[in-house]
Chain A
């Protein structure tokens, strides 16, 4: 089959809603886009452990400490599901990890913001994980089988993440005036960066059209952002929290909530590496990778020697 025929057949399968599996023929560009997008996603899950891990030892109660530990462990698991899915495209785990720690691979800009109080942990669960659910529910229908399956797995766990955050925030919002102030302050700081998580507006998003054509995504950045805003406005109202946007207004014609101008300059600055925590995040990941090297080597060496011993014994 010549290249064009293969490409047409591939597009036909996508349009039919079929899943593409690792050994199926796929355009080189599809493979590359997937590797880029999925590895960014995996890196984000892993780096996402840092802002929250920051508070494990200072959790307000044993219960909250257990919850946070479980959540952070899930984030590690999510990273591993996706890395395992990217590896089916013919890249090694080490290449992926090192491209991120020493190279140019990106991760979600949201994790370059600091967690200043415990209320930030509540706000992250509610807003950041809430936004992730909107995005990942769409990705669960992705045309690439292994990616889609890893998203199904993640979505099942993610609703716990959101719910524990929302519950805690609701408690704080109905607590003492100081607690209420803390909760509101955290939401004020996390609202806009959360809206940026969906990526640049549609007219500035170079990859969107291609990803949609190939069924990797099925909605645009702005569509996803809007559906997140719509559901979050209601949730905020119910717990007496205000969203820090004076332009937030229900639009009767569209049936959606209109929101104000997102500070995109800030977004691009963070992407460029100048967010409040960019350097710290990379430093922490490098440190963990390099200081853990001897453990990985020792385990390999142990396995090698044990195998030799077992072979001799038999």
Chain B
């Protein structure tokens, strides 16, 4: 516990990342973060902060320190394996002329 500016002892509630599902069948999106002492309050705070107008029909909260992220500096080498594999895209292949015409 750290001493705060007015001399009282307080520790800060942990930070949680909030994700919401905008609609049925849609993938979850990141909304922002909230502070909360436990998972239950994190969910309630997330609802009050990020879904006051039904922006989400489902919510996830994840302790922020549990998120593992790639680093922008390594972006090049990290994603490099995808760069030289044009054959993973349909444009790589040519379609026989006869098949093309028949639309």
Q: Which residues of A contact B (CB under 8 A)?
A: 21, 23-25, 70, 73-74, 77, 80-81, 84-85, 87, 92-94, 98, 101-103, 146, 149-150, 153, 157, 290, 293, 296-297, 299-300, 302-303, 306-307
B69 in contact (CB, < 8 A): yes
**Nearest Cβ on chain A to B81's Cβ, whole angstroms:** 21
B13 in contact (CB, < 8 A): yes
**0 or 1 for each of B47-58: is its CB under 8 Å from A? (1 = yes):** 011101100000
Tell me whether B52 and A102 are in contact (CB under 8 A). Answer: no
Check A24/B72 contact, CB under 8 A, given A81-B32, A84-B34, A297-B10: yes
Q: Which of B10, B33, B53 is in CB contact (< 8 Å) with A87?
A: B33
Q: How far is the CA of A33 from the CA of B53 in the complex (A)?
A: 32
Tell me whether B13 and A300 are in contact (CB under 8 A). Answer: yes
Chain A residues near B32 (CB-CB < 8 A)? 80-81, 84-85, 146, 149-150, 153
Besides A25-B73, A77-B52, A157-B53, 9 new A-B residue pairs in contact (Cβ under 8 A), listed by A number: A24-B72, A77-B50, A80-B34, A84-B34, A92-B12, A150-B32, A293-B10, A303-B37, A307-B38
Chain B residues near A70 (CB-CB < 8 A)? 52
Chain B residues near A73 (CB-CB < 8 A)? 48, 52
Tell me whether B6 and A290 are in contact (CB under 8 A). Answer: yes
**Nearest Cβ on chain B to A39's Cβ, whole angstroms:** 15
Q: How far is the CA of A24 from the CA of B70 in the complex (A)?
A: 11
Check A84/B52 contact, CB under 8 A, given A290-B8, A300-B13: no
**Nearest Cβ on chain A to B52's Cβ, whole angstroms:** 6
Instruction: Return the chain A residue nearest B4 by Cβ.
Output: A98
Check A81/B49 contact, CB under 8 A, given A87-B33, A102-B5, A300-B13: yes
Q: Which residues of B contact A (CB under 8 A)?
A: 4-6, 8, 10-13, 15, 32-35, 37-38, 41, 48-50, 52-53, 69, 71-73
Q: How far is the CA of A150 from the CA of B49 in the complex (A)?
A: 12
Sample (27) of A-B pairs whose CB atoms are under 8 Å apart = A24-B72, A25-B72, A25-B73, A70-B52, A73-B52, A77-B48, A77-B49, A77-B52, A80-B32, A81-B49, A85-B32, A87-B33, A93-B15, A93-B35, A94-B12, A101-B5, A102-B5, A102-B6, A293-B10, A296-B37, A297-B10, A299-B13, A299-B38, A299-B41, A300-B13, A302-B38, A307-B38
Instruction: Return the chain B residue nearest A289 by Cβ.
Output: B6
**Nearest Cβ on chain B to A143's Cβ, whole angstroms:** 15
Tell me whether A306 and B10 are in contact (CB under 8 A). Answer: no
Tell me whether A300 and B37 are in contact (CB under 8 A). Answer: yes
Chain A residues near B71 (CB-CB < 8 A)? 23
Instruction: Return the chain B residue nearest A81 by Cβ.
Output: B32
Chain A residues near B12 (CB-CB < 8 A)? 92-94
Chain B residues near A146 (CB-CB < 8 A)? 32
Q: How far is the CA of A87 from the CA of B50 in the complex (A)?
A: 17
Check A296/B10 contact, CB under 8 A, given A73-B52, A74-B52: yes
Chain B residues near A81 (CB-CB < 8 A)? 32, 49
Chain A residues near B41 (CB-CB < 8 A)? 299, 303
Instruction: Return the chain B residue nearest A146 by Cβ.
Output: B32
**Nearest Cβ on chain B to A92's Cβ, whole angstroms:** 6
**Nearest Cβ on chain A to B75's Cβ, whole angstroms:** 10
**Nearest Cβ on chain B to A286's Cβ, whole angstroms:** 8
Q: Which of B8, B35, B49, B72 is in CB contact (< 8 Å) with A23?
A: B72
Chain A residues near B35 (CB-CB < 8 A)? 93
Q: How far is the CA of A300 from the CA of B4 in the complex (A)?
A: 16
Q: How far is the CA of A21 from the CA of B70 in the complex (A)?
A: 12
Q: Which of B10, B49, B50, B52 is in CB contact (< 8 Å) with A94?
A: B10
Tell me whether A23 and B33 are in contact (CB under 8 A). Answer: no
Q: How far is the CA of A153 from the CA of B37 in the complex (A)?
A: 25
Chain A residues near B73 (CB-CB < 8 A)? 25
